[in-house]
Amino acid sequence: MRKVAIVGIGITKFGELWEMSYRSLAAEAGLKAVEDAGLSGDEIDALYGGTMTPGLFTDGQEHGGPLLADAAGLTGIPSTRIEAACASGGAALRQAYISVGSGINDIVVAGGVEKMTDVLTPSATFALMGAGDQKWEGFYGVTFPALYAMMARRHMYEYGTTEEQMALVAVKNHANGSKNSNTQYPFKVTLDQVMNSTPIADPIKLLDCSPITDGAAAVILASEDKAKELTDTPIYIESSGMATDTLALHDRKSLSRTDAAIKAGKDAYKLAGITHNDVDLAEVHDCFTIAEILAIEALGFCNIGEGGKFTEEGETEMGGKIPVNTSGGLKAKGHPVGATGIAQAVEITEQLRGEAKARQVDGAEIALTHNVGGSGATCVVHIFKRRN
């Protein structure tokens, strides 16, 4: 398989973007990525676009492949919509990576977009619950805060994880997000603010939850030869791992770990020829604070059951053993579900280029992204490396 590098990145502001449409968000991110790569657009061979459910979030519009190509001014090329719930962006990046790595294409766009705030909260909740098991969960009124609350409660029962440890995830990620101009919530929060925020699904509170968000992101991938022609700072995708678990939470072997993430992480480490100890920073899927704790355990940064303590000890902070979610994560940056996995790759690219400014991790060489669909039914993990 050929070596594949990121040569261009683009991202919009994340938030409640009333003045932006689904199309304009996609166009802005795509054009920024093309400009960053120094391309005219004619050189692009294909596009893979991650988007979960534009039809429910916006105006009934589906058929996202040609729509996204049209919005970016790339009509004529093969363009494929990729849907893997909240892991749609990560899955799109994986397909673009395979496309270039296989030799089928030389330069490919991987993008992600979601416009979520054009509908009322009940409609957004219904759309998002499509990522769960509709027959056994959604039909009975279960929502994702409730599913993650069950996972959190079981983790607390088995391992002694506390609500305060979960809240510290939000405190850290808001601190990081306050240094990122693209975040939906670029402000800090205190432990007391998180702990005293509105209860949503015990033990999850409002400030344990990622928001409903509009936004888009794009990266341009190129073969090694093309990458060397286009940039002096190519960021190589060393590997991609993807795995699935049961769709319904009640069918899982355990409620207190995410087996798809464990397998995807192991596969990605093996293909890259590294271990978790080699990773300098990670962007993980913190749709709820407990999700970050489950992620760092699944990826081997700490033992299963020790994620709360690992967080409390400051090991995931800037300057800690493994900085996690330097962008602010889904919690502060926002979570436009189809765009999230690509936005993670944008953050990692900036970090490995040394362009992350106030949130830069010094000397970062190897990084990881972890993008989850639903309550863990899908997980995509990518390993990135900066080569001198």
Q: What is the pLDDT of residues 302-314, one digit of tens each?
A: 999 999 999 999 9
Which two tokens mark 318?
A: 């800037």
The CATH class of the 130-211+238-386 domain is alpha beta
Q: Is residue 40 scored above 90 in pLDDT?
A: no
Could you tell me the pLDDT band of residue 222, with boundaries at 50, 70 and 90? very high
- Alpha-carbon dihedral angle through residues 124, 127, 130, 136, given to the nearest 10 degrees: 60
pLDDT of residue 44: 97
Number of Cβ atoms within 10 Å of the Cβ of 61: 13
pLDDT of residue 388: 54
Q: Give yes or no: 86 in active site.
A: yes
- Residue 383: partners with Cβ closer than 8 Å, 6 or more residues away: 237, 238, 239, 240, 268, 269, 271, 272, 274, 279, 366, 367, 368
Mean of pLDDT over the chain: 97
Q: What is the pLDDT of residues 312-352, one digit of tens each?
A: 999 999 999 999 999 999 999 999 999 999 999 999 999 99
From the list 86, 287, 302, 379, the catalytic residue is 86
Q: Is residue 290 scored above 70 in pLDDT?
A: yes
Using the Cα atoms of residue 57, residue 379, residue 154 and residue 162 in order, give the sign of their dihedral.
Answer: negative
Q: Nearest 5°: CA angle at 338, between 370 and 239? A: 35
From the list 155, 174, 285, 335, the catalytic residue is 335
> How far apart, in whole angstroms, are the C-alpha atoms of residue 45 and residue 61?
25
What stretches of 38-120 show up as alpha helix (H) in DSSP? Answer: 54-57, 64-71, 88-101
pLDDT of residue 58: 86
4-120+212-235 with 130-211+238-386: one CATH topology?
yes
> How far apart, in whole angstroms, are the C-alpha atoms of residue 309 and residue 155?
12
> For the residues 159-178, what does the mean pLDDT come to?
98
DSSP string, 99-152: HHHTTS-SEEEEEEEEE-TTS-HHHHHHHHGGGS-TTTTGGGT--HHHHHHHHH
Q: What is the pLDDT of residues 128-155, one digit of tens each?
A: 999 999 999 999 999 999 999 999 999 9
Q: How much of the chain is helix, strand and coil, in % rounded to 5?
A: 40, 20, 40
Q: Give yes or no: 155 in active site.
A: no
The domain made up of 4-120+212-235 is a member of CATH 3.40.47.10 = yes
pLDDT of residue 198: 98
Q: Which residue has the tokens 């990826």?
A: 299
pLDDT of residue 73: 87
Number of Cβ atoms within 10 Å of the Cβ of 156: 18
Q: What is the pLDDT of residues 47-96, one digit of tens each?
A: 999 999 999 998 888 999 999 999 888 899 999 999 999 999 999 999 99
Number of Cβ atoms within 10 Å of the Cβ of 3: 16
Number of Cβ atoms within 10 Å of the Cβ of 362: 8
Give this prediction's pTM.
Answer: 0.98
For the chain, give every domain's residue range: 4-120+212-235, 130-211+238-386
pLDDT of residue 234: 97
